[in-house]
Chain A
Amino acid sequence: MRASFVFSEVVTGLRRNVTMTVAMILTTAISLGLLGGGLLVVRTIDRMQQDYYQRVETVVYLSADISANDPGCTSSTCSALRGQLESAPGVQTVIFESRQAAFARFQRIFQGQPELLQLARPEALPASLRVQLSDPARFPSIAKAFTGRPGVDRVTDQGEYLRQLFRALDGLRNATFVIALIQALAALLLISNTIQISAFTRRAEVGVMRLTGASRWYTQLPFLLEAVVAGVVGGVLAIVGLIVGKVAFVDRVLAGVFEAAIVPRIGYGDIFSVAPILLLVGAVVAALTGYLTLRLYVRT
């Protein structure tokens, strides 16, 4: 097989249908860009989950009596609870937070809202035992074991709030993937269409090729490569788009959020680790679409 011949056929094909080629490349690029965006969201969510679940605590709020009269957790009820928690399976650390300490933390958190601070009294805040679990999934067994015990007011799990947050983020990720999928469908149809048009505009050449005994590969490879070129160029554009999107949009709009370490920063490393996936998906999907189109619509 003469590579130079096939290559020149590919270039001719792409040039002849330049508008279709551009449309095909752009649609592919947008579709792959959305896919890449979705993958980046997934990575970010994963990292946030690891990060956040490490920090969340299960909180055993103590009764009003202990909160008021036992600032050092020295009473038999409180110290017994603490001891039982410490020896419970899956528990890493247990820290007692007195009513005063809770109030101090409250003041720290809401220091920007003086009117709220004025209204608040230490009496409104219960003392608590703050439990760090080695595995957040162990919460139900802890909750079950300690709810209703003497000296315990209630047991709460901060992880529950996080799960709500992550459900929202999962929704965002899924929406991105759905749009990427619809866009991908449009890209596939466009690739298929472009190949058909390309084959039609070159039907004279293809006819001569068939009659002179060119093999199927010789006849069809140029069309297939056109699709692959479009897929790969689309992938490259998608990667460039992600970089531009990071610099021009994400880094600026979410600067505060990154600064506060609420959301981990999306780095170039993240984009470059997604990049090969996009290129591969672009090339493989385009090639498959091309192959099927040629099989179904173009005579050999």
Chain B
Amino acid sequence: MIRLEHVSKSYRTSTRPALDDVTVAVGKGEFAFLIGPSGSGKSTLLRLLLREEVASRGDVYVADLNVGKLSQRRIPQLRQRVGCVFQDFRLLANKTVFENVAFALEVIGKPRHTIRKVVPEVLELVSLEGKADRMPHELSGGEQQRVAIARAFVNRPLVLLADEPTGNLDRDISHEIMLLLERINRTGTTVLMATHDHTIVDSMRRRVVELHLGQVIRDESRGVYGVSR
């Protein structure tokens, strides 16, 4: 589902490449953690998958799309297949929970009757069915992240990317978010989550890909955060 082949990414402002000859693949329906300290290249890898950046060398594939070679016009096709969630939620402050989730469908031109049907379903999935009319500032951090996940998932993407989704949340809430991501994973969605939250990684016992200075230094199918920390 996700495949990187000898991918390097250098920025003009830095002498060291952010990613250095990375080859990694994540299969359909898999759940994988991408771990490593700040600056190890986790976010760069996610940005490549979203075509926010283009690799300096190597090929990036998401499903059947060669991401680096997509024309500007076809980038939306990629992003409609890849949902993403961030540490800072990125909700629209002037829209309700319902509107925030519906926005993701409106902007890709989904008809209104579909939106009215699908949005409540996904809100139920993230256990926010009673809060559709709330504004984001009326919600707790955990609830806001659940809205963000609902928005990322509402279009049923093939892949869900999560960049430090629990970074702003305390331990219990983080655990709830992880349960939710697991539930989404069980629907067949590939989940790739960048994190440096060792408690979560250790408790989940899922695949772990560790980056260090832009290189993959470990790839275990049922890993823990590790002792190198």
Contact = CB atoms under 8 A, between A and B. Distances in A.
A116 interface: no
B144 interface: no
Contacts of A211: 50, 79, 84
A207 B90 contact: yes
B130 interface: no
Residue of B77, B79, B151, B155 with highest tally of chain A CB at under 10 A: B79
B76 to A, nearest CB: 4
Contact of B155 (A2, A207, A208, A212): A212
Contact of B73 (A208, A212, A214, A216): A216
B108 A214 contact: yes
B227 interface: no
Interface string A59-76: 000000000000000000
A300 B78 CA distance: 14
A149 B151 CA distance: 97
A213 B90 contact: no
Given A211-B50, A212-B80, A219 B107 contact: yes
Contacts of B178: none
B72 A300 contact: yes
B118 interface: no
A296 interface: no
A204 interface: yes
B103 interface: yes
B220 interface: no
Contacts of B77: 213
Interface of B is mostly: helix
Interface in B148-175: 151, 155
A5 B108 CA distance: 11
Contacts of B107: 5, 208-209, 212, 214, 218-219
A248 interface: no
Contacts of A212: 79-80, 103-104, 107-108, 151, 155
Interface in B30-86: 50, 72-73, 75-81, 84
Interface in A186-231: 204-205, 207-216, 218-219
Contacts of B93: 204
Nearest to A300: B72
Contacts of B80: 212-213
B79 A2 contact: no
A296 to B, nearest CB: 15
Contacts of B72: 216, 300
Contacts of A5: 106-107
Interface in B11-32: none
Contacts of B76: 213-216
Contact of A204 (B78, B79, B90): B90
Given A208-B103, A300-B72, A213 B108 contact: yes
B92 A210 contact: no
A73 to B, nearest CB: 83
A77 to B, nearest CB: 86
Contacts of A215: 73, 76, 108
A1 interface: yes
Nearest to A218: B107
A204 B109 contact: no
B122 to A, nearest CB: 13
A208 B104 contact: yes
Contacts of B90: 204, 207-208
A213 B109 contact: no
Contacts of A204: 90, 92-93
Of A5, A204, A205, A215, the most chain B CB neighbours within 10 A belong to: A215
A216 B70 CA distance: 14
Interface in A1-41: 1-2, 5
Given A215-B76, A216-B73, A2 B106 contact: yes
Nearest to A299: B52
Contacts of B104: 208, 212
Nearest to A207: B90
B87 to A, nearest CB: 14
10 closest residue pairs by CB, A with B: A213-B80, A213-B79, A214-B107, A212-B104, A213-B76, A209-B107, A215-B76, A5-B106, A218-B107, A1-B109
26 contacts: A2-B112, A5-B106, A204-B93, A208-B90, A208-B103, A208-B107, A209-B107, A211-B84, A212-B79, A212-B103, A212-B108, A212-B155, A213-B76, A213-B78, A213-B79, A213-B80, A214-B107, A214-B108, A215-B76, A215-B108, A216-B73, A216-B76, A218-B107, A219-B107, A300-B72, A300-B75
Interface of A: 1-2, 5, 204-205, 207-216, 218-219, 300
